[in-house]
Amino acid sequence: MAQYGKDVLERLQATFRAEAHEQLRSMSAALDEWPPVPGAELPAALVERMFRDAHTLKGAARAVNRRDMEAVCQALENAFAALKRGAFVSTYELPESLREALDALGAMREAAAAAPLSAPVSALLRRIESAGKPGAGAHSDEASVAGPVERAAVHTVTPEQAQMALAAATGDGVVRIDVSRLDAMLREAEGLLTVRFAAAHRVEELREASAHAASIGRGAMASPALAHQLPERVERLLRDAQRDERMLASITSALLRQVREMHLLPVATLLERFPRMARELAREQAKKLEITIEGGDIELDRGILQALAEPLLHIVRNCVDHGIEPPAERERAGKAAQGRLGFSVAHREGGRIEIAVGDDGAGIRREAVAQAARRLGLPVLEDPAEPLALVFHSGLSTSTMLTDISGRGLGLAIVREKIERLGGRVTLESDPGRGSTFRILLPHALATYRGVLVRACGRPFVIPTTVVGRVARVPRATLRRVENRPSIALEGRAMAVVGLGELLGLPAASAADPDDPHLRVLVLGEGAQRIALTVDEVVGEQEVLVKALGPQLARVRNVAGACVIATGEVVPVLDATDLIESCRGFEPGPAARVAGTVPEPRRRAILVVEDSITARTLLTAMLASAGYQVSAAVDGMEGLAALRAGEFDLVVSDVEMPRMDGFDLTARIRADPRLAAVPVVLVTALGQREQRERGLEVGANAYLVKSDFEQSNLLEIVARLL
């Protein structure tokens, strides 16, 4: 390849990376269709597809001198060829090894040049050679849980790394466009030339008519007949302009539609990234999982797919971690040992798309959600659907223990926030004992959505229709103060009232008639969390084209973007999630406080119990820098003595320590009536499932593994527990 110029080589490498991405995606999707039962007969078409993909990628790798990728592709090709001729059978180990090989190829694709195969990758290729032989992997199921097997380093992916990979999966900057679409766009663009020529002719006619009218105005027109022709001429120009407008509207609409279609991607380009991650998470928890994807060929806006990566990641983790039960528990309940996780995509009315993610696990107990809500001080209605809506509230979790994966009550709150920012909506259906389904309803494209145009303090605003449950005129006389907040009675319940202008900090001048006996109200939110937002005028509902505010204003609270309405006004489009949160935390009227009368709050005291000097120093410094008052003990015995002698709000403890370990210390704390309510966070190198379960049994509130440890995780959990 040395004979080629640098520019040619760079283009060749870019083309190879795009081709490799497509081939790896195709093989990964094929592996997701692999029958989950060892020994099952593989569809010949499926094996042939993977064989051709591996062969094609091998040739492309050879063309750009990527010998490392060529070697891995050769091993894949050999395995698929053996499957075709019947020398290999489907074992439990074979598809897992093939997935590791695809992960290795994905990591190699990102490298700038070929490199010698690492020892784990070489060992992986040797495993592939034997994994499909009859009798191989007969006990792989058990070994996968208990046995130490060397894995390729590229396959150890943390949830955070997986999240970043998912977010980037549809954003590589390369768009493949069908030639027929380009031809259609060219024809529409050529049609604009006709409109342009007509517009130029129309300008010339208007110039002549203007000169004609000016002459009449100066009294210089000699012929009365010409004066009578002017209205006819203007009328004809108006008809021609209206025809041009219709033609221009037709062409621009077609062009806009075609460009948006070019910006669409199959939902499968995002969904196919999740099966691998879900299986790894299930394996870590000794669970078995079957995954299905339906309707993945339905297309969505590329921007929506990118924004969906994080919400779907949280939902998948929730389904696997909270929903799917361990095999033994499932069998006791009369279910198959292998759980099911399903993705389905479907068209819905109004041009919207629904993505459903469901499992056949334990489901969600409404009573547990209601209890968790009451602990947070949230009102809970008798409506049976209400508790399920509360699972999306920040800080609400039914988990009895915090881990590095779940239990903080933030995942589903992030899901709702992200989905609503897209102009969508997420709901949850659950049948205890049978499973849960998350349903996400989204617009087909990001640019336009429907909003309610209102005016407050003389200024226009657009509020997304998705968060407006109702628009009403309420008698001003019904306004009351409940818990020191203005409230109204609507639909048989009291709702807090917040003025939009006051919420946004606008000048108090109002366009509303002070003598008007009615308030104009928009009801935002759901269930017991609903709030009445008052405005001066509700203009109506309309479709708006939303534009971002630009990098200078990347994040403005309560504002998602801007649009131009028919009058030419630039109108702020309000952020649905921010708006509801701002309403809930809003205190009307000036809050007068006298300086020095508010006592400084007591600093929370934390006891760190750790035998390692380095770890103890790190934890102490980390917590002290966050504003906590920190004391330290070198083992469980000293920690227990310190707890009994002092006042502490929380304990952070290691597990493996001399004299008394962290498990025993936690058990002693829970057995002491005076200390039983003190939260305990265990930070340890012991990451096995048995240790986590023991931590739960002795009463720990959170369990963090040092290998996955991050400062933000610890501080977030401490803040949550305090």
pLDDT in tens, 57-88: 888 887 778 888 989 998 898 888 888 888 78
C-beta separation of 559 from 476 below 8 A:
no
User: How do the domains of the chain map onto residue ranges?
Assistant: 6-156, 179-262, 266-442, 448-584, 605-721
User: Using one digit for the tens of pLDDT, what is the confidence trace for 202-244?
Assistant: 888 888 777 777 776 666 554 666 667 777 778 888 888 888 8
Give the highest mean pLDDT range of 268-272, 405-409, 440-444, 631-635.
Answer: 631-635
Kindly state the average pLDDT of the residues 655-669.
89
**Which pLDDT score is estimated for 377?**
67
C-beta separation of 547 from 571 below 8 A:
no
Q: Please state which of the four CATH numbers 3.40.47.10, 3.40.50.10860, 3.40.50.300, 1.20.120.160 is assigned to the domain occupying 6-156.
A: 1.20.120.160
Percent of the chain with pLDDT over 70: 78
The H or E element containing residue 111 is none
Stronger pLDDT, 10 or 129, i.e. the higher one? 129
**Which pLDDT score is estimated for 514?**
64
User: Does domain 266-442 bear CATH number 3.40.50.2300?
Assistant: no
Whether residue 440 has pLDDT greater than 90:
yes
Whether residue 479 has pLDDT greater than 60:
yes
Confidence of residue 151 (pLDDT cuts 50, 70, 90): very low
Whether residue 105 has pLDDT greater than 60:
yes
Kindly state the average pLDDT of the residues 327-350.
90
Whether residue 171 has pLDDT greater than 50:
no
**Which pLDDT score is estimated for 356?**
95
Domains 6-156 and 605-721 share a fold: no
**Which pLDDT score is estimated for 400?**
56
Could you tell me how far CA 71 lies from the centroid of its own chain? 36
pTM, whole model, 2 decimals?
A: 0.54
**Which pLDDT score is estimated for 346?**
93
Whether residue 591 has pLDDT greater than 70:
no
583: which residues sit within 8 A by CB, 6+ positions away? 496, 498, 503, 524, 525, 531, 533
Mean pLDDT, the chain, as a whole number? 77
**Which pLDDT score is estimated for 339?**
92
Whether residue 343 has pLDDT greater than 90:
yes
Give the highest mean pLDDT range of 11-20, 350-359, 503-512, 513-522.
Answer: 350-359
Q: Under CATH, what is the fold of the domain 448-584?
A: OB fold (Dihydrolipoamide Acetyltransferase, E2P) (2.40.50)
Nearest 5°: the CA angle 604, 608, 609 is 150
**Which pLDDT score is estimated for 340?**
92
Q: What single letter denotes the amino acid at residue 28?
A: S
Stronger pLDDT, 686 or 714, i.e. the higher one? 714
φ, ψ of residue 442 to 5 degrees: the values are -130, 150
Stronger pLDDT, 263 or 103, i.e. the higher one? 103
Query: What are the C-alpha distances in Å from 440 to residues 352, 354, 447, 640?
Result: 10, 5, 18, 49
Whether residue 170 has pLDDT greater than 50:
no
Cα(94)–Cα(557) distance, rounded to whole angstroms? 51
Confidence of residue 154 (pLDDT cuts 50, 70, 90): very low
Query: What are the C-alpha distances in Å from 426 to residues 297, 342, 419, 429?
Result: 21, 17, 7, 10
Give the three-state DSSP class for 201. helix
**Which pLDDT score is estimated for 128?**
85
**Which pLDDT score is estimated for 399?**
62
Stronger pLDDT, 378 or 4, i.e. the higher one? 378
Whether residue 358 has pLDDT greater than 90:
yes
Give the highest mean pLDDT range of 166-170, 356-360, 395-399.
Answer: 356-360
**Which pLDDT score is estimated for 643?**
92
Nearest 5°: the CA angle 712, 718, 722 is 145
Cα(298)–Cα(268) distance, rounded to whole angstroms? 8
Among candidates 68, 79, 102, which has minimal Cα distance to 279? 102
Q: What class, spelled out in words, does domain 605-721 have in CATH?
A: alpha beta
Give the three-state DSSP class for 348. strand
